[in-house]
Amino acid sequence: NAGVTQTPKFRVLKTGQSMTLLCAQDMNHEYMYWYRQDPGMGLRLIHYSVGEGTTAKGEVPDGYNVSRLKKQNFLLGLESAAPSQTSVYFCASSHRHPDRGDTQYFGPGTRLTVL
């Protein structure tokens, strides 16, 4: 199993450009998440999905859109990139275990720089 994979690993954008980050998981997990990690800020949830065709806003959703057309994929889009979106982006997935705690499985991250 590859687990959670993210594409691309690195990207440099100019202000105003758009891009899509792809997250894929092969564990048949229902839940998927996008986080951003910035120095001193820990992890902040951008958007999440509790199943195919569903998405919801997290703590910092402005400037991002997401789609979950297939259960195994969760896409994060930036329509008009801004320097404030320079960050490391992590995707995660989890499976619902009501009595066992929902462990999050993380991808390796995408390092995005917006100039």
User: Residues in the site for another protein, rule: CB under 8 A?
Assistant: 4, 31, 40-43, 45, 48, 50, 58, 90, 92, 96, 98-109
Task: Provide, rounded to whole angstroms, the least separation between the CB of residue 105 and another protein.
Answer: 8
Task: Provide, rounded to whole angstroms, the least separation between the CB of residue 17 and another protein.
Answer: 25
Task: Provide, rounded to whole angstroms, the least separation between the CB of residue 2 and another protein.
Answer: 13
Tokens of 98: 């009501």
Give whichever of 26 and 102 is closer to another protein, judged by the CB atom.
102
Round to whole Å and give the CA distance between 95 and 30.
Answer: 6
Q: What is the CA 91 to chain-centroid distance, rounded?
A: 4
Q: Give backbone dihedrals phi and psi of 85, rounded to 5 degrees, phi first.
A: -95, 5
Q: Give backbone dihedrals phi and psi of 84, rounded to 5 degrees, phi first.
A: -65, -15
Give whichever of 62 and 99 is closer to another protein, judged by the CB atom.
99
